[in-house]
Amino acid sequence: MFHWLEKHPFFFAVGVFLVIAFAGLIEILPNFAQASRPVIGTAPYSTLELTGRHIYIKNSCNACHSQLVRPFKSETDRYGHYSLSGEYAYDRPFLWGSKRTGPDLMRVGNYRTTDWHENHMKEPSAVVPSSIMPAYRWLFTNKSDIETAYAEQLTVAKNFGVPYNKPVSMKDGSSKTVKMGASVAEAKSIALEEAKVIAADMRDQDVKDAVANGQIPEIVALIAYLNSLK
């Protein structure tokens, strides 16, 4: 057999290609499948966080901010650990981005606070004097669309097996369970409880009053999403 292959270089080349391709698949596919699984500490978005993600996309925040820390020292020194594929397991769509008019936000929840986001979204230049970002004051009066976020939760839970209402391992060894309501009314109730925690750290009295009256301004949902990026 080997003597025959030595006399037919074309078939020899094909045979070598098949062997290398097969070995490559055996080596690459398991690692790829493992890397694409959620890493420890990655939990699905809550109803309020997912609502905030929709607001983030609706206002084209992803046009100026990326969510992808590349494995370069200049990146990790500024933004933290480089991004891992498994950290995007619950992102639909991915918001990696290709342009940075503003800083990367992949880990913004590690170094910015609720009150910082509140002040920055209301008047960016008052917080960052060199900022060219416009003010997003309408977020303080627009009401959040909880129903759409809940509909997405139902879809991904059914079709992609997203582990809502199940414990997820966190980096510190604890577990976290992200609740998904059994109805729109329950989803709104869960989101409102989370919104109250966010609003408690905010200064805008109109926002606080709205949440106290059972309404969730878009700024609260957006901050909940930004705080989840770690």
* Per-residue model confidence as pLDDT tens digits over 48-101: 999 999 999 999 999 999 999 999 999 999 999 999 988 999 999 999 988 899
Tell me the three state secondary structure of residue 171: coil
Same domain for 19 and 74?
no
Pick the closest to residue 121 from 222, 45, 5 (CA basis). Answer: 222
167: domain CATH number is: 1.10.760.10
Query: Does a structural domain hold residue 41?
Result: no
Query: Does a structural domain hold residue 42?
Result: no
Same domain for 180 and 93?
yes
Pick the closest to residue 54 from 222, 230, 228, 193 (CA basis). Answer: 222
Has residue 12 got a pLDDT over 90?
no
Same domain for 55 and 23?
no
Query: Does a structural domain hold residue 27?
Result: yes
Same domain for 112 and 141?
yes
Query: Does a structural domain hold residue 145?
Result: yes
- Give the global pTM: 0.84
Query: Does a structural domain hold residue 15?
Result: yes
CA-to-CA distance for 114 and 179, rounded, in angstroms? 22
Instruction: Count CB neighbours of 229 within 10 A.
Output: 19
Same domain for 8 and 94?
no
* Domain with 8 in it: 2-36
Same domain for 29 and 71?
no
Tell me the three state secondary structure of residue 130: coil
Structural domain count of the chain? 2
CA-to-CA distance for 53 and 86, rounded, in angstroms? 18
Query: Does a structural domain hold residue 14?
Result: yes
Has residue 2 got a pLDDT over 70?
no
The encoded tokens of residue 226 equal 């930004």
Query: Does a structural domain hold residue 75?
Result: yes
Same domain for 19 and 59?
no
Q: What pLDDT is recorded for position 1?
A: 63
Q: What pLDDT is recorded for position 49?
A: 98
Q: Partners of 143 in the beta sheet?
A: 217
